[in-house]
Amino acid sequence: MAEIFKFFYALIIFISLILSVANADPMYCFNDDDCRELKCSHPRVRKCRMFLCRCEEVDKEDEK
C-alpha cells in the first residue's frame, strides 16, 4: 500500500515538473535592451546571448 502512494507521489511530481518546463517561454532578443521584461537577482544582469535573454553574473572587467 505504501509503495502505491510513493508511486503516485513521484508521478505527480514528475508531471508537475514537465508542465512547469513546458510553460516556460523563452525571451528572444537582438540586443540587451530587448531583455527589459526579464527579472534578475542583484549580482546578475540581463544580457542577450545567442538571441536569448539570460541573467548573467557581472564580471569585474565589465564594471569598469
Per-residue model confidence (pLDDT) at position 23? 54
pLDDT values of the chain reduced to their tens digit, one per residue, 64 residues: 888 889 999 999 888 877 766 556 778 899 999 988 888 888 899 999 999 888 898 876 655 5
Per-residue model confidence (pLDDT) at position 59? 74
pTM over 0.95: no
Round to whole Å and give the CA distance between 24 and 52: 13
The domain limits of the chain are: 25-64
* Greatest alpha-carbon span in the chain: 62
Containing 18, the helix (H) or strand (E) segment is helix 2-22
Containing 62, the helix (H) or strand (E) segment is helix 60-63
Closest of 5, 50, 60, 56 to residue 28, by C-alpha: 50
* Strand, helix or coil for residue 56: strand
Per-residue model confidence (pLDDT) at position 37? 86
